[in-house]
Structure 1
Amino acid sequence: MNILFVLAHPEPTSFNGQLVATGKDYFEAQGHHVEVSDLYALDFDPVEKAANYPDRINEEEFAPLAEQRHAYKEGILAPEIQQQIEMLERADLVIFQFPIWWHSVPAMLKGWCDRVFVSGGLYTSKMRYDNGYFRGKRAMCSVTSGAPGEAFVAGGRGGELDQILWSMQFSLYYMGFDVLPPHASFGVSGHGYSYVADDAFEKQFATLKQNWIERLSSIQSDTPMTYPGWDDWDDLGQPKMANA
């Protein structure tokens, strides 16, 4: 397989960074080809703005989607965006590695979606969901949190993981990916704040890394999550069964 890790954490030695390194080593040992897109190391600009389009189709008003369509059609996307798209196109499996921040994805990753999932090129009004550009490819979110896993339940302090990741995972499905169930590493805390004693860190991290390797070892047989498709909606985008 061709595998792409998209890392969204500002510290390369963080546990998120370690999980990417562990995953890369594991897959390469199995004979797979691995690429890593470390967004912070690349100094990726997540902010969609007029300055990203020096050759504008409309100089009077900035309409992001129109400028994306124009740039894609004319082959003048920013080099960093074209680079990300080409890596996605090469990949059979894309793993997004990031911490849960404020019950969501980091702003860096949200902005990456805003800029890289280019309107008119990677999606259109009909090229979405189960007709999406990346159909046949798989994607997965691997996340970390300082809170223990027991907190991520209905009514818990952490909130339900499925709700936290719904927007990101549904966006991947929107782009045509088969979305695999997420992998979560809980109880990963920064220096000076932890749910475990300092002397338990190494043992805990070793266990989490082993869990990660075990997940990756079976990932080719993972069953994607189920989402509704075009045949399940009426012309207004509502469930057909609701109107039956």
Structure 2
Amino acid sequence: MKAHIVLAHPEHKSFNSSLARMTEQLLSESYEVTFSDLYAMRFDPYDRPEHYDDQRDLAGFHVQSEQRRHAEAGTTPTDIAAEADRLINADLLVVHFPLWWFGMPAILKGWIDRVFVYGSVYKSTMRHDLGIWRGKKMIACVTTGSSSDACSHDGIEGDTYLHLWPLLYPFRYIGFDVLEPFVLHGVGSTSYLEGIDQGLGELKPLLDQWGEALETISYRRVTPYNRDDDFDGKKQLKTAAAIYSPFISSTKHGPWPVAESD
């Protein structure tokens, strides 16, 4: 069994890095582990023409066309091919990142943009239920700066799990069973940096919680998504299909309600 760990944090002494190193240590007991520390690797997060020696259309750069053509020719850029191979070989993927501006760090989004290669990692006949990672698992271990109260469904930051739904959907798109993300709140907040509060003084209990989650990962809940046959010929949800998220629902959301004036 093989596991791949991806870390997206610029500081090697950070709590996210500590979590990732714990992951490596614990998984090494039962998996062959590979590790991509994106900042340490100086991973280039954005695709551009210079990555392709032989570009089909010199008048314009179309990412998917170039990715697929080079994937089929076996000429995917070397660094991306290596990352894709680690991903393709993984039975378990663990992704560590802090939630920044209600999203993932740009370097991790760029990793998805470039490593999820059209033509080898996915294509129209190889996604969702037919993705090449079907039956394999991924989990995100995420930290937030704000407290669990602020990040709750009625908190000022909004529900972290709702923010994470679209962030993790790309992994469902390529076939993974996306496990319920593991979220640790109150880590490295701006309030702490500004001296407004004491922040989180003791991080070891959170490390222990993550360790326990890893040890029981085979029993962890899989995030429910609609299956392919829940959609009709126009790729819209069937009336009788189950609803798991406001992002895919029989109820139309928006436009946003207008706030009442004072």
* TM class by smaller structure: over 0.9
Higher relative contact order (CA 8 A, sep 6+): 1
Identical-residue share of aligned pairs (%): 36
CA distance in 2, matches of 1:216, 1:195: 34
Which shifted more, 93-102 or 115-124? 115-124
- Residues 49, 217 of structure 1: CA spacing in aligned structure 2 closer, same or farther, 3 A cutoff? same
Q: CA RMSD in A?
A: 1.9
For residues 35-62 of structure 1, what are the alpha-carbon distances to aligned partners after superposition, in whole Å with 9 as ceiling and x for unaligned?
A: 1100111110001111111211211211
C-alpha displacement of 1:23: 1.4
For the Cα contact (< 8 Å) 1:97–1:142, is it kept in 2? Answer: yes
For the Cα contact (< 8 Å) 1:147–1:195, is it kept in 2? Answer: no
**What does residue 255 of structure 2 align with?**
none
Q: Gapped runs of 5+ residues in structure 1?
A: none
Instruction: Give the TM-score, by structure 1 length.
Output: 0.92
For the Cα contact (< 8 Å) 2:88–2:121, is it kept in 1? Answer: no
CA distance in 1, matches of 2:209, 2:197: 18
CA distance in 1, matches of 2:195, 2:77: 41
For residues 174-210 of structure 1, what are the alpha-carbon distances to aligned partners after superposition, in whole Å with 9 as ceiling and x for unaligned?
A: 0100000000111111673477637x62xx2011101
Is 1:215 matched with 2:216?
Answer: no
For the Cα contact (< 8 Å) 1:72–1:121, is it kept in 2? Answer: yes
Q: Gapped runs of 5+ residues in structure 2?
A: 242-249, 251-262
Q: Secondary structure at the match of 2:149?
A: helix
C-alpha displacement of 1:74: 0.6
Is 1:95 matched with 2:65?
Answer: no
Please give the residue correspondences for 1:233-244 in structure 2 after superposition, counting only pairs within 5 Å. Answer: 233-241=231-239
**What does residue 225 of structure 1 align with?**
223
Instruction: Give the TM-score, by structure 2 length.
Output: 0.86
CA distance in 2, matches of 1:195, 1:237: 49
**Structure with greater proportional helix content:** 1
**What does residue 83 of structure 1 align with?**
82
CA distance in 2, matches of 1:92, 1:228: 22
